[in-house]
A and B are shown apart, each in its own frame.
Chain A
Amino acid sequence: MVTTLFGVSIIAFVILRVIPGNPIVMMLPPQATQQDILELKAQYGLDKPILVQYGIWLMNVAQGDFGVSIHMKQDVMELIMERLPATLELVLAATAIALILGIFIGTLSIMKKGTFVDKLGSLLAILGLSIPDFLWGLLFIIFLGVFWHVLPISGRIASTYTLKTITGFFLVDSLLKVDFKGFYSAFLHLILPAFSLALPLTAIVIRVIKSSLLEVVKEDYILLARVKGLSERVVIFLHALRNALIPTTTIVGVQFGFMMGGTVLVEIIYSWPGLGKMAVTAIITRDLPLIQGVVLVLAFIFVIVNLIVDLLYTFMNPKIRYG
């Protein structure tokens, strides 16, 4: 795990140092002299060899210091911590939607094989995979934001609210303050971006649930449950689904990690003030410390989530637990 993070930090560092376009020059007014450039470079430590720069950066990161953003002149960790909750809230909501929708549709299409529900499930599964999140986002904006103006399409909460953040999760914050109107507004703002992110994942969940349910229902214990005379609903939902959920957990977990770094476009489209949007701005302004910080934090989350998924897998699968 540590090696992976090391690897990511090295790749990030090296790729970023070869980026043409000097962040220092971009900061200074055009009439700045060569002397000014050199001085500022020295101030950010960009005049040293890459290896030395990497060493210094790594030492600082080990002490929790990610440096100062060149463009925004703010502590990198602070900037990330400000925006992380927004992205996390979005991704968590999307994952919840995908799990609920996916498991429901997937299971129903196995129970009612060949019927309308089954066909709808198949169609959704392939549409979800064919239309990437940002196109879902734009489709929603056109139909639900422009043609029928039913849902808000920009930001996290109505601009009339100035929520002083406690946790950074607007849904939690507004509840903590017993501000139900604020909660409602934050909830409405979350719907479209969350659904845009969720639909591709829903497609994956439907597929996995269907294929693992098909495997599970061949098992003897399902036959036993049926022989006992249990209703089909009980057999599928209480007996089969439990085991079919194991591969789903693994895949959803991995996808969760990918989604954390994949919210960029949805955040841009919905003006969602999260990590992805900031990362793109950082790349365009060549804000090296900020990009490094964001990439490392995202990679860290990715690795941690995968670790949790492995642990969950062991927990859910007795074969491995006692093996």
Chain B
Amino acid sequence: MAGRKKERFVQIKRFLTNGKVLFGSIVLLLLVFTSITAPFIAPHDPNEQDITATKRPPFWMGGGDSNHILGTDSLGRDVFSRLLYGSRVAMFVAVVGTFFAGLIGVPLALLAGFYRGAVDNLISRFVDIWISFPPILLSIVLMAVLGTGLTKVALAIILVDWTRFCRVIRGEVFNITEKDFILAAKAIALSNLRIIVKEVFPNIVPLLIVLVTLEMGIAIIVEAILSFVGLSVEASIPAWGQMIALGRLYIHQAWWIMVFPMMCIIISVFGLNLLGDGLREVLDPRLKVIEMK
């Protein structure tokens, strides 16, 4: 018992001492925090327009004031407050989009990788067809079909990105089902369902966690792309991509309208990618061996 406890302690320590995991977790926690508390910590209503104070620069520049710390946009809306609210859209698509994309992709991958043969053929062929459709165009077409709205953006992301889970996990399932312990499980006549759920699935979890963090970053980018083209959430909901599209029009007079939402996207995705990268280092047993040498 003591040994196991110590093992767990070592594991936690490994998580915390990995700089990438630490930084990534902080970014993720910050995102979760701002998306939950946006209405309480935002200094202004994100849609409140102040025609007398349009395109105000951030507070440290001449003409800026502490009332609008990151300035205002072309309609006099507070950039900082809109960024906080924007993180809600980003978090929503990241969490919901990734969860359901995984929910479709992973079971299909398990089926394809475990049963192989005809099942694998059918699923893989379908995935091949699906990814031949240019992803960005597919998501834009989908949004044109579905119409704007938060849940619809998430749906478009799910429909485009489930293939990533399916492709990557399928390969891993192929590797795992080659292993002796799967043969052993088959030899003692465990049911296929049980082997998949109890023997195969736990072994893909490390890879799955990494994929999830990466996919969350991708979901945030896709939403930004869609709202940049004007095909995402309704105009009344502040989203980062939308802010970028608006800021682009005033790039010569008021760079901050565009630059801050860009920074938000870059830092979020950078953090999530670092987290994925770090988790891979910590969780991948093959890399652990190298580390010990």
Which A residues fall within an 8 A CB radius of B? 3-5, 7-8, 11-12, 15-16, 18-21, 126-127, 129-132, 134-135, 138-139, 141-142, 146, 258, 260-262, 264-265, 268-269, 276, 279-280, 283-284, 286, 291, 294-295, 298-299, 302-303
A299 and B134 alpha carbons, distance in the complex (Å): 7
B134 touches A142 (CB 8 A): no
Which residues from B are CB-within-8-Å of A294? 137
Interface assignment of B244: CB less than 8 Å from any CB of chain A: yes
Give the number of chain B interface residues (Cβ < 8 Å).
Answer: 38
Dominant secondary structure at the B interface: helix
How near does chain A come to B228, taking the closest CB pair, in angstroms? 7
Interface string of B218-261 (1 = CB under 8 A from A): 00010011001100000000000000100010011001001100
B140 touches A3 (CB 8 A): no
A261 and B229 alpha carbons, distance in the complex (Å): 16
A-B contact count (CB 8 A): 112
A283 touches B141 (CB 8 A): yes
Given contacts A19-B145, A126-B274, A284-B144, contact A302 B136 (CB under 8 A): no
Residue with the highest number of chain B CB atoms closer than 10 Å, among A5, A21, A127, A132: A132
Interface string of B259-280 (1 = CB under 8 A from A): 1001001100110011001000
Dominant secondary structure at the A interface: helix
A19 and B140 alpha carbons, distance in the complex (Å): 12
How near does chain A come to B56, taking the closest CB pair, in angstroms? 19
Which residues from B are CB-within-8-Å of A12? 133, 141
Interface assignment of B128: CB less than 8 Å from any CB of chain A: yes
A265: which of B141, B142, B225, B265 is its contact (CB, 8 Å)?
B225
Residue with the highest number of chain A CB atoms closer than 10 Å, among B144, B229, B251, B277: B144
A16 and B244 alpha carbons, distance in the complex (Å): 29
Which B residues fall within an 8 A CB radius of A? 125-126, 128-130, 132-137, 140-142, 144-145, 147, 217, 221, 224-225, 228-229, 244, 248, 251-252, 255, 258-259, 262, 265-266, 269-270, 273-274, 277
A207 and B244 alpha carbons, distance in the complex (Å): 30
Additional 18 contacts, C-beta under 8 A, given A127-B270, A261-B137 = A4-B125, A4-B132, A15-B142, A126-B270, A126-B273, A130-B273, A138-B244, A139-B262, A146-B255, A258-B134, A262-B134, A262-B135, A264-B140, A280-B137, A280-B140, A291-B141, A298-B137, A302-B134
In the complex formed, the residue of B with least CB distance to A16 is B141
Which residues from B are CB-within-8-Å of A18? 145
Which residues from A are CB-within-8-Å of B274? 126
Which residues from A are CB-within-8-Å of B144? 19, 21, 283-284, 286
How near does chain A come to B212, taking the closest CB pair, in angstroms? 16
A279 and B229 alpha carbons, distance in the complex (Å): 12
A260: which of B134, B244, B273 is its contact (CB, 8 Å)?
B134
In the complex formed, the residue of A with least CB distance to B251 is A146
How near does chain B come to A295, taking the closest CB pair, in angstroms? 6
A298 touches B134 (CB 8 A): yes
B270 touches A130 (CB 8 A): yes
Which residues from B are CB-within-8-Å of A134? 225, 228
A131 and B132 alpha carbons, distance in the complex (Å): 24
A262 and B160 alpha carbons, distance in the complex (Å): 13
Which residues from B are CB-within-8-Å of A276? 136-137
Which residues from A are CB-within-8-Å of B128? 4, 7
| Closest 4 A/B residue pairs (Cβ) | A261-B134, A7-B129, A130-B270, A299-B132
B136: which of A135, A139, A265, A284 is its contact (CB, 8 Å)?
A265
A295 touches B133 (CB 8 A): yes
How near does chain B come to A150, taking the closest CB pair, in angstroms? 15
B136 touches A261 (CB 8 A): yes
In the complex formed, the residue of B with least CB distance to A129 is B273
A15 and B143 alpha carbons, distance in the complex (Å): 11
In the complex formed, the residue of A with least CB distance to B225 is A265
A sample of 11 cross-chain residue pairs with beta-carbon separation below 8 angstroms, ordered by A number, consists of A8-B132, A15-B142, A19-B145, A21-B144, A132-B269, A135-B262, A262-B134, A264-B140, A265-B225, A286-B144, A299-B132
In the complex formed, the residue of B with least CB distance to A286 is B144
A20: which of B135, B145, B255 is its contact (CB, 8 Å)?
B145
A280 touches B229 (CB 8 A): yes
How near does chain A come to B64, taking the closest CB pair, in angstroms? 18
Given contacts A19-B145, A134-B228, contact A261 B262 (CB under 8 A): no
A145 and B125 alpha carbons, distance in the complex (Å): 45
B270 touches A283 (CB 8 A): no
Which residues from A are CB-within-8-Å of B229? 265, 268, 280
Which residues from B are CB-within-8-Å of A139? 262
B140 touches A135 (CB 8 A): no
How near does chain B come to A318, taking the closest CB pair, in angstroms? 24
Which residues from B are CB-within-8-Å of A20? 145, 147
Residue with the highest number of chain B CB atoms closer than 10 Å, among A19, A20, A135, A258: A135
